[in-house]
Amino acid sequence: MKSQFTLADFQQRLIEIFTNADQPVYAQVASVDDHGLPQLRTVHLRYWQQLDCLCFNSNTKAPKWRQLQRDSHIAGCYYDGQRDLQLRWEANVDLIDNETSNTDHTALLDHMWRITRAAVRTVYWKDHQPQQFDIQQRCPTFATVMFRPHCWDILEVSEDYLNSCRTLFIRSDKAWQTKRVSVLHGKEI
């Protein structure tokens, strides 16, 4: 199998993957803890067109929020079983919480709150202020982690594996570089 992906194809494909409401993207995202060790969890990743970024929600009391405040690096991984495609990426995050004065960021937070399941919104409020709450109102501990990866590592798996291929897209300054690499060891081919 020859790679289907040029950078432009890939960017389009990514948007399709991250905006398909029938197939939510539950990906694993790693942060770095106080001891320099990786910490991993599943998050629901979404694409936000207005800022051309990926994002996921976090509680501001969660360990990952503290870790990302200290060190903005993340690495992520998602296996798309329908397309037999592994996506891996690296990024630096921006953290958006209730204190933001940026109107684009407030719009993103509001949107993320609205599309979050009512049960999850209830859990946020019950933790923050159980006596009296309205889940239409955004909870102050609800926050969003946004990022634009600077490196993508795409493994396209063919049915027989023999023709699988792996492509790296790496951004340096503002330009993207494309590298076809070995599926086994990542060295350029």
Binding site for ligand FMN (CB under 6 A): 26, 39, 41-44, 56-58, 62-64
What are the structure tokens assigned to 56, written together?
């996921």
Q: Which two tokens stand for residue 172?
A: 């340096």
14 or 112: CB nearest ligand FMN: 112
The least distance separating ligand FMN from the CB of residue 161, rounded to whole angstroms, comes to 28
Minimum distance, C-beta of residue 45 to ligand FMN, in the bound complex (Å): 7
In the bound state with ligand FMN, the residue whose beta carbon lies nearer, of 141 and 167, is 141
Closest separation in Å from C-beta 103 to ligand FMN: 23
14/68 with CB nearer ligand FMN: 68
Question: Nearer Cβ to ligand FMN, position 64 or 166?
Answer: 64
Report in angstroms how near the CB of residue 66 gets to ligand FMN at its nearest.
Answer: 8
3-state secondary structure 95-150: EECCCCCCHHHHHHHHHHHHHCCHHHHHHHHHHHCCCCCCCCCCCCCEEEEEECCC
Q: How far apart are CA 82 and CA 118, in angstroms?
A: 28
Indicate the SS3 state at residue 50: helix
